[in-house]
Amino acid sequence: MAKQITYGKFLLIECTAGELMNAVGSNICICDWCGKPFLPSDKGVYIAVLNHWYCWDSFLQWYADAEWYPQDVDVERKNFEFYAPRLGVKCQ
């Protein structure tokens, strides 16, 4: 079950590869960081500011160095509001 998660100021949705595949109408789900394909039952994180889905290992690597920039907030919010309802997450 997809849900919003909190790491710093980023808008993030934890969801399985399968939930993302349904949301975007894709048959495969590849982590945008490590490039590995994942099973529909594998969990990862949709990162609205990047419009990317990362597996958890990659997400934690990315987050260790990630910085949140106020100028990205508009695109981040737009991506989040597009994906959240498709993933069954309520916008906050």
- Residue ranges binding Zn ion (CB under 5 A): 31, 33-34, 55, 58
Return the closest-CA partner of residue 83 out of 52, 55, 57.
52
Task: State both tokens at 7.
Answer: 């790491």
For residue 48, the tally of other CB atoms under 10 A from its CB is 22
CB of 10 to Zn ion, least distance (A): 17
Residue matched to tokens 């710093």 = 8
**Least CB distance to Zn ion at residue 31 (A):** 3
Closer to Zn ion by CB, 66 or 77: give it: 66
Least distance to Zn ion, CB of residue 56, Å? 8
**Separation between Cα atoms, residue 19 and residue 22, nearest integer Å:** 5
Q: Pick between residue 20 and residue 55 the one whose CB is nearest to Zn ion.
A: 55
Cβ proximity to Zn ion: between 32 and 77 the closer is 32
